């Protein structure tokens, strides 16, 4: 049965977007949406994003589009920006977890847009992973999590961004970034000026784009204070543990790229000293440093190279770790340490791949938290279990 027909009949279909794969259902059918929560094992208080094909769809899902949203719509839609808007009465409660707002996005991916058009309904669509696991960036990842649970996955190859959309609340007088993502705070500020950013690790709101708090109007300062003291999170999803492989993740960090490389190497050597099997996700520069400094008897298993060249035998993986394979350091290098976009693009796939190595610990290198780097660092912290409650599965 074609994907669009399955969706019209209330079934679930996983589909590619430019960010990550989504798990789609007819957003106007409460039973179909309920099946999403079941398939993912997702807590019902975490609302879903509604995907529409165009501005007409946006107008049907939102009760009202505030004036400051229009410039953002013109600039970033279609694309990896999700807007939180007042909710129209056609949106069922289960989609928004009872909130009076709804998150909407127009994906840019041609397959996603065609699927919405062919099915003729807006698609509620969280990332197509089981709750708590890294979001899927290939159809194979979706299959890992959803085999036997959903009837169809539409394979559109690898996702361009590899990280989810930016979730931006535009219902107040100042836009609030609820989840950093593929559209950076800097890009948003270039269109609408200062924005608030929720920092889930500290449960505070940080003002972006202002040099001194005194340059803000009183009303903006009030909002900053209000948001930082607020009880319930404005984006319920932020409180849950996310993106977490089974293997514990430790973050290596430092004030600049070189310092991070040295910290990654030091953490790896410490872990080896403690007798742990180590997997590393880092920049190419760090990979070179590590290759030079491995203690005698240790080998680097570069999973990336093994993957790039099919003729190379795959490195040993989880099920039965022989004494021999315990002498490997598993490694994936994402690209230059100056380019957070490749780190962001590869993170989720690398976490899944390194998790399958059966290592005792994954050491993942941080990046500068500007541009898409902010979203990368946010996901990395969550993968390491920071700033969030344990996953509610
Ligand atoms: O890139 C993406 O956004 C992907 C693709 C498939 O579109 N979708 C995605 O959905 O990441 P999901 O469900 O994994 O994350 C949606 C986030 C959650 O943090 C949720 O709490 C938040 O958006 N959210 C949804 N509706 C909201 C609302 N009305 N108010 C505040 N936050 C909301
Ligand atoms: Mg998700």
CA distance 217 to 348: 40
Q: Is the CB of 23 under 6 A from ligand 1?
A: no
Q: pLDDT for 249-288, tens place per residue?
A: 999 999 999 999 999 999 999 999 999 999 999 999 999 9
Strand order in the sheet with 13-15: 152-153, 13-15, 22-26, 123-124, 49-51, 101-105, 81-86, 166-169, 176-179, 195-199, 204-208
CA–CA distance from 232 to each of 149, 220, 276, 334 (Å)?
32, 20, 39, 36
Inter-residue contact 331 to 282 (CB < 8 Å): yes
The tokens 């900053």 sit on which residue?
Answer: 224
Q: Is the CB of 131 under 6 A from ligand 1?
A: no
Atom of ligand 1 nearest to the CA of 22: 6
Cα 43 to averaged position of ligand 1 atoms, centre (Å): 13
Q: pLDDT for 129-185, tens place per residue?
A: 999 899 999 999 999 999 999 999 999 999 999 999 999 999 999 999 999 999 999
Which among 90, 29, 35, 36 is positioned nearest to 58, based on CA atoms? 90
Summarize the confidence of residues 183-193 as an average pLDDT. 96
Cβ count near 31 (within 10 Å): 11
Average pLDDT of every residue of the chain: 88
SS3 51: strand
Q: Is the CB of 325 under 6 A from ligand 1?
A: no
Q: Which ligand is nearest to the CA of 20?
A: 1
Cα 325 to averaged position of ligand 2 atoms, centre (Å): 34
Report residue 342 as tokens.
């490749």
CA–CA distance from 208 to each of 175, 187, 237, 325, 370 (Å)?
11, 11, 22, 47, 11
- Closest Cα to atom 3, ligand 1: which residue? 165
Q: Is the CB of 174 under 6 A from ligand 1?
A: no
CA distance 82 to 69: 11
Q: Is the CB of 134 under 6 A from ligand 1?
A: no
CA distance 323 to 215: 62
Q: pLDDT for 327-360, tens place per residue?
A: 899 999 999 999 999 999 999 999 999 999 999 9
SS3 89: coil
Which among 78, 81, 96 is positioned nearest to 33, based on CA atoms? 96
Q: What is the pTM assigned to this prediction?
A: 0.89
Whether 116 has a pLDDT exceeding 80, the answer reads yes
* Exposure b/e, 6-25, CB count within 10 A at least 16 = b: bbbebbbbbbbbbbbbbbbb
SS3 200: coil
The tokens 């007088």 sit on which residue?
Answer: 173
């Amino acid at each position: 049965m074609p994907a669009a027909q399955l969706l019209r009949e209330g079934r679930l279909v996983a589909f590619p977007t430019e960010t990550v794969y989504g798990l789609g259902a007819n957003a106007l059918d409460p039973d179909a949406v309920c099946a999403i929560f079941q398939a993912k094992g997702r807590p019902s208080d975490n609302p879903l994003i509604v995907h529409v094909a165009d501005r007409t769809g946006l107008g049907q899902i939102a009760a009202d589009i505030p004036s400051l949203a229009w410039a953002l719509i013109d600039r970033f839609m279609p694309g990896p920006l999700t807007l939180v808007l007042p909710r129209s009465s056609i949106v069922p409660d289960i989609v928004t977890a009872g909130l009076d707002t709804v998150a909407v996005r127009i994906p840019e991916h041609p397959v996603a847009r065609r699927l919405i058009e062919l099915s003729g309904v807006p698609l509620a669509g969280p990332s197509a992973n089981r709750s708590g696991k890294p979001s899927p960036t290939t159809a194979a990842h979706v299959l890992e999590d959803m085999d036997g649970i959903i009837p169809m996955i539409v394979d559109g190859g690898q996702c361009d961004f590899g990280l989810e959309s930016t979730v931006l609340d535009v219902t107040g007088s100042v836009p609030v970034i609820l989840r950093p993502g593929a559209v950076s705070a800097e890009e948003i500020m270039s269109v609408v000026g200062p924005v608030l950013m929720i920092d889930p690790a500290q449960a505070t709101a940080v003002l972006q784009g202002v040099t001194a708090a005194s340059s803000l109007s009183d009303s903006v300062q009030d909002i900053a204070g209000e948001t930082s003291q607020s009880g319930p999170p404005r984006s319920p999803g932020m409180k849950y543990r996310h993106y977490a492989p089974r293997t514990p993740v430790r973050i290596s960090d430092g004030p600049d790229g070189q310092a991070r490389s040295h910290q990654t190497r030091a953490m790896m050597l410490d872990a080896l000293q403690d007798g742990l099997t180590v997997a590393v996700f880092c920049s190419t520069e760090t990979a070179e440093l590590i290759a030079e400094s491995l203690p005698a008897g240790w080998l680097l298993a570069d999973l990336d190279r093994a993957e790039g060249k099919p003729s190379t035998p795959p490195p040993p993986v989880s099920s039965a770790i022989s004494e021999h394979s315990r002498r490997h350091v598993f490694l994936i290098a994402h690209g230059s340490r100056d380019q957070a976009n490749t780190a962001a693009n590869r993170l989720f796939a690398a976490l899944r791949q390194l998790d399958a190595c059966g290592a005792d610990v994954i050491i993942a290198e941080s990046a500068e938290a500007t541009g898409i780097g902010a979203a990368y660092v946010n996901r990395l912290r969550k993968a390491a279990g920071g700033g969030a409650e344990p996953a509610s599965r």
